Amino acid sequence: MKSLQRRLWEAVEPLHAVVYFAPETAAAAKAVGLPSWWMGYFAGRVAPLGPLPEPPATAMLFGFAPRMVARSLPDAWQYAEPAVVLQTRMDAVEVALKRLLPADAPFEELAELLELAVTGCDYAARPLAAAWSSVARPATPIGRIWLTATVLREHRGDGHVLSAVAAGLRGLDTTLTHIGSGAVTREVLQSNRGWSDEDWDESVARLAGRGVLDDDLKLTEPGIVLRQRIEDDTDRLATGPLDALGEDGAAEVVRIAVPLSRRIFDAGAIPLPNPMGARRP
């Protein structure tokens, strides 16, 4: 049975993840001068932290190959300042959500609930979530929903990185355990994360040596246990927002957010499968 933390993530994640696929956000990045989609992605993701170079960005983004991040950062800041990237990205995703979601949805209620959830976030050792939590509150309910959904997903994501590192895994190692579980494929993730075949083979050898992967690159019994421990730890580290909401508040978020997230998937605004592993709730 899924934990309430995971149900909350599955309900809210699509409201954030629209930003990665909406034509509005790609057009906004191009309009401010960023010359590639990936530069828009990396600059937009870390913009609240200021003009970061590659090493700290790679450390936080974890699953991406350093060389892929280095193709975009710090060069992005020669084309557009972080504050400009941030504001245009937020404006664009708000337009996208207005296009995709029904105008009569209870946006104000959902925004208030998600803002309550964010009060339960602990930002120690969670730089991405902390940075997004410092972004000024948008004026509209839809803008507030996207920002709070972003804080919550980066809070959970930072916790997932902490869980994986504590388990002795590197970024690509963690990706391979995800693939080994059958949840996503190499074809979906390798090109989207920038890892070479040599990187891949080294990680496979490392995990096989630990007894985590078998000859078919599937999780072994110890690998299944390891992966489940990471997922359980990720859920445990995401309990703060749930505590702030209470079970009734979390259930209300799920009730409101699930139809909106399903509408996003049903409109084709987020592909299935996708690199984040987000599913139609």
Beta carbons of 165 and 116 less than 8 angstroms apart: no
- The pTM score is 0.96
pLDDT, position 277: 82
pLDDT digits (tens, 9 = 90+) for 98-149: 999 999 999 999 999 999 999 999 999 999 999 999 999 999 999 999 999 9
Enter the tokens of residue 115: 């803002």
pLDDT digits (tens, 9 = 90+) for 240-281: 999 999 999 999 999 999 999 999 999 999 999 888 888 899
Environment class of 75 (CB within 10 Å of its CB; exposed 0-12, middle 13-18, buried 19+): middle
Report which DSSP code applies to 34: -
Examine residue 53 and say whether the peptide bond preceding it is cis (omega within 30 degrees of 0). Answer: no
Beta carbons of 74 and 54 less than 8 angstroms apart: yes
In the chain, what percentage of residues exceed pLDDT 90? Answer: 92
Would you place residue 1 in the very low, low, confident or very high pLDDT band (cuts 50, 70, 90)? low
Report which DSSP code applies to 140: S
**Phi, psi at residue 219, to the nearest 5°?**
-65, 135
How high does pLDDT run on average in the chain?
96
Cβ neighbour number for residue 29 with a 10 Å cutoff: 26
**Cβ within 8 Å of residue 141, ≥6 positions away:** 107, 108, 110, 111
State the Cα–Cα distance between residues 165 and 207, nearest whole angstrom: 14
Enter the tokens of residue 274: 């996708």
